[in-house]
Amino acid sequence: MLKRILSISGKPGLFELVSQGKNMLILESLTEKKRVPAYTHEKILSLGDIAIYTEDGEVPLVDVLRSMKEKENGQKVGFDPKKADGKQLAEYLGEVLPNFDRNRVYSSDIKKLIAWYNILVESGKDDFEEKKSAEAPAEEAK
């Protein structure tokens, strides 16, 4: 699901991939529901390709978002990340991902993570569960 959700450097919010043209993507803003073009020269990241540094390696963003959803019972995060200080942000991420690398994950990263989570919850794109392959139900039917 997160493969189709994109972040564009320099543009606020998250976007969902709607269509693809020759030299551009057609995206829809998750917050404003407006369609906008994104061109090949822009830095575009898929949320499915992002991971958070831990002391043991990296954890995919989907796993962190799933942990946040469990902690918040499917609701938005209870505080404003823009007004929170670095200590509060680190404590929050420590509750969600206890072994995150405190030297390589900055406060700005945590703010962005919380903002993204809130956008996904508000827009109803908060199904962070892994989709089972089509073969699994067929095998269970036997």
Q: Where are the domains of the chain?
A: 2-47, 50-122
Residue 80: pLDDT above 50?
yes
What is the model's pTM?
0.84
Distance (Å, whole) CA 35 – CA 23: 16
The mean of the pLDDT values for the chain is 86
Cβ(14)–Cβ(6) under 8 Å? yes
What's residue 132's pLDDT? 45
Distance (Å, whole) CA 23 – CA 31: 25
What's residue 125's pLDDT? 84
Cα 17 to Cα 86, 108, 125, 134: the distances in Å are: 33, 25, 13, 23
Evaluated on CA atoms 59, 120, 72, 87, the torsion sign reads positive
* 27-71 tens-digit pLDDT: 999 999 999 999 988 999 999 999 999 999 999 999 999 999 999
Average pLDDT over residues 73-79: 86
Average pLDDT over residues 68-88: 88
> What is the CATH number that goes with domain 50-122?
1.10.10.1650
The class (CATH top level) of 2-47 is mainly beta
Residue 109: pLDDT above 80?
yes
